[in-house]
Amino acid sequence: MAEIVFKHQHRIIYAECTVGNHVYYARYLDMLEEARGEFFRQTGKPLRLWQESGTAFPVIGARIDFKGPARYDDVVTIELWVNEMRGVRLNIGFRIAHPGGGLLAEGETRHVCASLEEKPQRLPKELMEQLKPYVRLESEVR
């Protein structure tokens, strides 16, 4: 199984920065949501369509380590991959970096597959097939 990483680019605007000209720490989570939306769209089915067919993937946890500041007008690359995918759980790993290579942040968002009434349900087979190429080699998929 090959490992692929999804990449999304984002340009920093003033709305995301705070005093001292760096991105406010919470705004990285907004950027991650933007990137996840494009990740699902590219792998086959946008989150809006999953939602319309009754399935959502709410975040149940997040971990982020900050390694360096992104500044106004920087273009940053958000890399996403799958750390774990089984049962009702979907954990997505991420790195945010300057295109030149400087690491800005890394971590993981943990999601649960749920009905719109917020009841957990098994990850759809269709989704698991679509995300399989993005699963980290050292990870488990069951």
Residues that bind a copy of itself (CB under 8 A): 11, 13-15, 17-21, 24-27, 29-30, 33-34, 37, 46-48, 56, 58-66, 69, 72-73, 116, 118
Given the complex with a copy of itself, which of 1 and 75 has the nearer CB atom?
75
Q: Indicate the burial class of 89 (C-beta count within 10 angstroms; 0-12, 13-18, 19 or more).
A: middle
User: Which of the 8 DSSP states describes residue 66?
Assistant: E
Q: Which two tokens stand for residue 125?
A: 């087979």
End-to-end alpha-carbon separation of the chain, Å? 14
Nearest distance from C-beta of residue 142 to a copy of itself, angstroms: 23
User: Which of the 8 DSSP states describes residue 16?
Assistant: G
Given the complex with a copy of itself, which of 22 and 82 has the nearer CB atom?
22
Closest Cα partner for 50 from 123, 109, 108, 110? 123
C-alpha 106/C-alpha 94 separation (Å) is 5
Given the complex with a copy of itself, which of 2 and 15 has the nearer CB atom?
15
Nearest distance from C-beta of residue 100 to a copy of itself, angstroms: 16
Q: Which two tokens stand for residue 51?
A: 């939602």
Given the complex with a copy of itself, which of 48 and 122 has the nearer CB atom?
48
Nearest distance from C-beta of residue 66 to a copy of itself, angstroms: 5
